[in-house]
């Protein structure tokens, strides 16, 4: 069998780039030639992977700031957090990279294009050059199913108030939501630029060869089956992709937080981190600090660098003095995989981004769920109600900007619930079982391993419709 060459085109955002890189590593480990197309700002993690021995190619293309009207410092979707005027300009920039990408496809003649959901024009590019396009959404089967059933049935139209629950129909489990947990573009039939882009994405999904999913069958079997059999989507489970990352490389640096964790008892530390895009008001940061203190648990809290923490006026009086020895604040980046893998780690407070959620599953730890926007409220339902390995902190407001509204008492209550008592032990046992299944899924003969084998076979025999 000849060597297949796969192009990867991830979205310019940290949470999309990391799993795409892990997927490229995975494909490379199975004998495929892989090339990632990205902008210079995201070349560092790819070069680090190359330095670590992974045979992943890299081609950089220019990000069209000037043509799209974006400020020169905006190079990632992570930076477009609250300015609504910048979002359509960012998506315009994404559309403007179509020509240079198609030139690369023409010159290098790859056998397949794996592209991010936010790049719908790649469906046309794939057809143009007679190659299959695989879509990568970067989320769970569960959230894909909930989102699609919401789009088809619009169950929120049957309720009068924002606080009245509605049931998402046609799903394997009863899933209840309220309007405030759903984005405006899902609720409203408006025709703004972002909604039109979302519609293009849905249309391009239907015209693509299939979907690759960062999940494994044993985690959400009902929803993998629903997505394929009921919704009629061709899909392959390839995850957990984070198991392709080299956590030992980070661990070898023995960051200060890991040395601090070495002194702690097993399952005794709470890790709180909300990803690269979350923003909180100073008042909310104060509530978080008070809640962690009140919980009485040892903790590591990652506070995002930026305007919200630069003067630290949010910090309660004598807070760092009170938590000395039992609490650590990390400002900026933290070695998340290594922290989650540490024996002292007892629970994970997460925003329910799918990367972090799945990393928590792989670590076998219970979670406190604190969704903020995107599909995070759907992932929360999977964790707390289907898998039953987490508890909700109680946030019900979908908001992409600065978040607030959760009291310190709610934080303390949720943290204690996942750390102490009989229910915490039940969640820990279930979480440990999912950790075992995740590891088995990616090993030779496992469900994700076999799905990738089947995908490679399909790609090797692909015959384009237009030839």
Active site residues: 16, 116
**387 CB contacts (<8 Å, ≥6 apart)?**
219, 220, 361, 430, 434
Q: Are 126 and 102 in contact (CB under 8 A)?
A: no
Q: Distance (Å, rounded) from C-alpha 200 to C-alpha 98?
A: 15
Assign residue 445 a region: left if phi > 0, alpha if psi is -120 to 50, beta otherwise? Answer: left
Is residue 251 helix, strand or coil? helix
Q: Distance (Å, rounded) from C-alpha 295 to C-alpha 273?
A: 17
Torsion, CA 399, CA 66, CA 113, CA 79, rounded to 10 = -30
Torsion, CA 187, CA 138, CA 336, CA 286, rounded to 10 = -10
Q: Distance (Å, rounded) from C-alpha 207 to C-alpha 124?
A: 9
**68 CB contacts (<8 Å, ≥6 apart)?**
89, 90, 92, 93, 96
Coarse DSSP helix, strand, coil percentages of the chain, rounded to the nearest 5 percent:
45, 15, 40
Q: Distance (Å, rounded) from C-alpha 213 to C-alpha 238?
A: 6
- Find tokens 């040395």 and name the residue: 259
Q: Are 397 and 403 in contact (CB under 8 A)?
A: yes
Give the Å distances, CA to CA, from 72 to 65, 76, 86, 89, 250: 6, 11, 12, 12, 31
Q: Distance (Å, rounded) from C-alpha 46 to C-alpha 378?
A: 30
Peptide bond connecting 173 to the previous residue in cis, omega within 30 degrees of 0: no
């Amino acid at each position: 069998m000849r060597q297949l060459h796969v192009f990867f085109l991830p979205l310019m955002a940290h949470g999309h780039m990391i799993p795409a890189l892990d997927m490229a590593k995975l494909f490379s480990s199975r004998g495929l030639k892989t090339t990632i197309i990205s902008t210079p700002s995201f070349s560092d993690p790819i070069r680090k992977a190359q330095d670590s021995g992974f045979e992943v190619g890299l081609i950089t293309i220019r990000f069209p700031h000037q043509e799209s009207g974006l400020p020169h410092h905006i190079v990632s979707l992570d930076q477009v957090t609250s300015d609504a005027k910048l979002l359509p300009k960012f998506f315009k920039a994404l559309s403007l990279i179509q020509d240079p990408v198609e030139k690369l496809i023409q010159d290098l003649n790859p056998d397949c294009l794996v592209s991010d959901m936010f790049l719908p024009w790649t469906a046309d590019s794939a057809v143009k050059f007679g190659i299959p396009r695989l879509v990568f959404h970067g989320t769970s089967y569960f959230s894909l199913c909930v989102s699609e059933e919401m789009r088809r049935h619009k169950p929120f139209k049957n309720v009068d108030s924002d606080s009245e629950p509605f049931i998402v129909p046609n799903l394997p489990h009863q899933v209840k939501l309220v309007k405030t947990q759903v984005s405006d573009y899902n609720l409203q039939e408006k025709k703004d630029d972002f909604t039109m882009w979302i519609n293009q994405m849905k249309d391009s999904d239907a015209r693509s060869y299939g979907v690759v999913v960062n999940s494994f069958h044993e985690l959400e079997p009902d929803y993998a089956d629903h997505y394929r059999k009921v919704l009629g989507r061709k899909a392959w489970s390839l995850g957990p992709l984070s198991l392709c990352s080299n956590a030992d490389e980070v661990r070898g640096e023995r960051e200060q937080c890991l040395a601090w964790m070495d002194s702690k008892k097993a399952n005794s530390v709470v890790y709180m981190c909300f990803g690269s895009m979350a923003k909180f008001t100073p008042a909310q940061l104060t509530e978080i600090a008070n809640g962690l203190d009140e919980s009485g648990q040892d903790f590591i809290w990652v506070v995002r660098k930026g305007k919200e923490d630069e003067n630290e006026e949010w910090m309660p009086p004598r807070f760092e003095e009170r938590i000395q020895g039992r609490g650590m604040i990390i400002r900026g980046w933290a070695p998340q995989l290594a922290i989650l893998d540490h024996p002292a780690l007892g629970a994970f407070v997460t925003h329910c981004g799918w990367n972090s959620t799945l990393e928590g599953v792989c670590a076998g730890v219970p979670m406190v769920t604190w969704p903020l926007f995107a599909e995070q409220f759907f992932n929360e339902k999977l964790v707390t109600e289907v898998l039953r390995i987490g508890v909700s902190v109680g946030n019900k407001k979908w908001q992409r900007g600065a978040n607030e509204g959760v009291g310190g008492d709610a934080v303390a209550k949720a943290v204690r619930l996942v750390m102490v008592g009989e229910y915490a032990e039940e969640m820990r046992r279930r979480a440990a079982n999912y950790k075992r299944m995740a590891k088995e899924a990616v090993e030779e003969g496992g469900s994700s391993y076999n799905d990738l084998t089947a995908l490679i076979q399909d790609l090797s025999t692909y015959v384009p419709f237009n030839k």
